[in-house]
Structures are given as structure tokens and as C-alpha cells.
Amino acid sequence: MTYTRFLAMIATSTVVMFGLMYLNTYALDHIFYC
């Protein structure tokens, strides 16, 4: 139970990290330099 929860947390954080990197490279000036 704990191991699957740990893997799910790692997978979620990885997906969020890739999503943020994609947003940073795709629309950097629109999001962070308003």
C-alpha cells in the first residue's frame, strides 16, 4: 500500500514537473512576465 502510494506520488510530481517545463518553454513571457 505504501509503496504504490510512493510510486504514485513520484509519477504525479514527474508529470507536473514536465508540464511546468513545457509551459515555461512554450509561453514563458506570457505567464511569468505579465
pLDDT at 1 over 80: no
Instruction: Please report where in the chains the cell 515555461 appears, as a residue.
Output: 24
User: Which phi and psi angles does 27 have, rounded to 5°?
Assistant: -135, 60
The pLDDT of residue 10 is 96
The pLDDT of residue 16 is 94
Residue length of the chain: 34
The pLDDT of residue 6 is 95
- The per-residue pLDDT for range 2-28, each reduced to its tens digit, is 999 999 999 999 999 998 888 777 766
